[in-house]
Amino acid sequence: MTNRIAFITGASRGIGRACAIALAGAGHRVILAARDLAKLEETAAAIRATGGQADPLQIDMGSPDSIKAAFAKAKEIGRVENLINNAAITRDGLALRMKPDDWNAVIQTNLTGAFLAIQLVLPVMMKERWGRILNISSVVGESGNAGQANYVASKAGLIGLTKAIAQEMGSRNVTVNAVAPGFVDTDMTAVLGAELREKLLATIPLKRLGAPEDIAAAVRFLCSEEAGYITGHVLDVNGGMYM
């Protein structure tokens, strides 16, 4: 068991919530960050009920000021040694008709927000000569997807960001990796119609959507001591839909 602090963005539901529960189960004190404080409190209560330590913090990954304020509060809790950049939004539409606001909002939250969070944790990680940074990308960041130019660009950008920072931080024993989920059963995919869902399942060799826990297990491993020699890697957790 370890007692490091993990900061998880988008921790109020879906993959972020599952990551928080998995890391708390591995002995980490988890800082739960998202916009919806009420939902964060629910997740924190569930973690505390099983003997874990959880601190909810409001954050808007689209706002540099909000990110700064949240990490300043996190500093009062302790040293953040694991950062899981999971928060993401979608504003889908064909590129031809995509509004600049929809492009900017997605890039700002999914990519720029993640970069700003990384900048804020690096000084402590460098000083401690230990750190784990995990960026949650997506299968579409590798394969592309029609109607999601902004989202795909943000998720592909996270992969490039992961590799650049892995190279910069390797000598300080800070590992930086990405996890690329396939289609996971969350609120984001719940809006898909039955027909689209069937079509999707046909493209997945394992014939099921992922569960948030499938992604959380990969994150827990990459945050562990055992993963200390893995950096700059993109771990696909997608049921085989993209190889």
Six token digits for residue 186:
């969350």
Nearest-angstrom CA–CA distance, 65 and 119: 14
Backbone angles phi, psi at 174, to 5 degrees: -105, 120
Helices of type H across the chain: 14-25, 37-49, 64-77, 100-107, 113-128, 139-143, 149-169, 187-190, 194-202, 212-222
Nearest-angstrom CA–CA distance, 74 and 56: 10
179 close to 136: Cβ distance less than 8 angstroms: yes
208 close to 201: Cβ distance less than 8 angstroms: yes
Where does residue 174 fall: left (phi above 0), alpha (psi -120 to 50 degrees), or beta otherwise? Answer: beta
Catalytic residue among 7, 71, 103, 151: 151
Helix (H, G, I), strand (E, B) or coil at 152: helix
Which residue in the block uniquely carries the two structure tokens 């969350």?
A: 186
Q: How remote is the C-alpha of 178 from its chain's centroid?
A: 9
Instruction: State which H helix or E strand residue 7 sits in.
Output: strand 5-9
Backbone angles phi, psi at 19, to 5 degrees: -65, -45
Nearest-angstrom CA–CA distance, 72 and 117: 11
Question: Is 151 a known active-site residue?
Answer: yes
Strand-strand pairing, 29-34 and 5-9: parallel
Active site residues: 151
